[in-house]
């Protein structure tokens, strides 16, 4: 039995990936860390959500289902900066011996025009940058 044949893709929207070298950054805060924003590195983006890497020691107690606020998401043009958007954590990948955690998040109440702008950016990037992994 091939493991890949058993894998079901649940994703409804196309997404694009970013390399660490591209250094797509954002700031994240939770209810507990509201007084301070924690820098994170964006890994992927779709009109439905975003994934990012963060330092485990700066994000203590963060759990699946928790809502976060992302600010200063600095994407390349034609998308540019997205500021102050709420997400809910869908999954956390914990690489036990690594300082980084990977978070997969879904947007909460994303305005329609912003979702459309992200969709257009994803299409643009897949067509023009050839990072359709």
Does residue 27 have a pLDDT over 60? yes
Q: What is the pLDDT of residue 132?
A: 44
Residue 34 lies in a domain: yes
Count of domains observed in the chain: 1
Q: Which residues span the domain enclosing 41?
A: 12-128
Residue 71 domain-assigned?
yes
**How many C-beta atoms surround the C-beta of residue 114 within 10 A?**
14
- CATH number of the domain residue 115 falls in: 2.40.10.220
57 and 38 Cβ atoms separated by less than 8 Å: no
Residue 1 is assigned to a structural domain of this protein = no
Is pLDDT of 2 > 50? no
Q: What is the rounded average pLDDT for all residues in the chain?
A: 85
How confident is the model over 33-55, as a mean pLDDT? 89
Q: How do 67-71 and 73-74 pair as beta strands?
A: unpaired
Is residue 36 in some structural domain? yes
Q: What is the pLDDT of residue 9?
A: 47
What does the pLDDT look like over 74-131, one tens digit per residue? 998 899 999 899 999 999 998 888 899 999 999 999 999 999 999 999 999 988 865 4
Instruction: Mark out the alpha helices in the chain (DSSP H runs).
Output: 3-6, 112-128
Residue predicted with more confidence, 130 or 66 = 66
pLDDT at residue 61, as a whole number? 81
| Residues 93 and 101 sit within 8 Å (Cβ to Cβ) | yes
What pLDDT is attached to residue 4? 46
Q: Rounded CA gap, 83 and 111, in Å?
A: 12
């Amino acid at each position: 039995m091939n493991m890949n044949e058993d894998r079901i893709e649940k994703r409804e929207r196309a997404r694009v990936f970013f390399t660490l070298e591209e250094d797509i950054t954002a700031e994240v805060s939770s209810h507990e860390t509201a007084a301070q924003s924690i820098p994170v590195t964006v890994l992927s983006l779709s009109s439905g959500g975003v994934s990012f890497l963060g330092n485990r020691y700066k994000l203590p107690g963060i759990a699946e289902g928790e809502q976060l606020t992302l600010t200063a998401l600095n994407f390349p043009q034609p998308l540019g900066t997205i500021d102050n958007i709420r997400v809910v954590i869908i999954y956390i990948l914990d690489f036990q011996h690594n300082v980084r955690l990977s978070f997969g998040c879904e947007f909460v109440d994303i305005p329609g025009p912003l979702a459309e702008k992200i969709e257009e950016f994803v299409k643009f990037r897949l067509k023009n940058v050839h990072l359709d992994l």
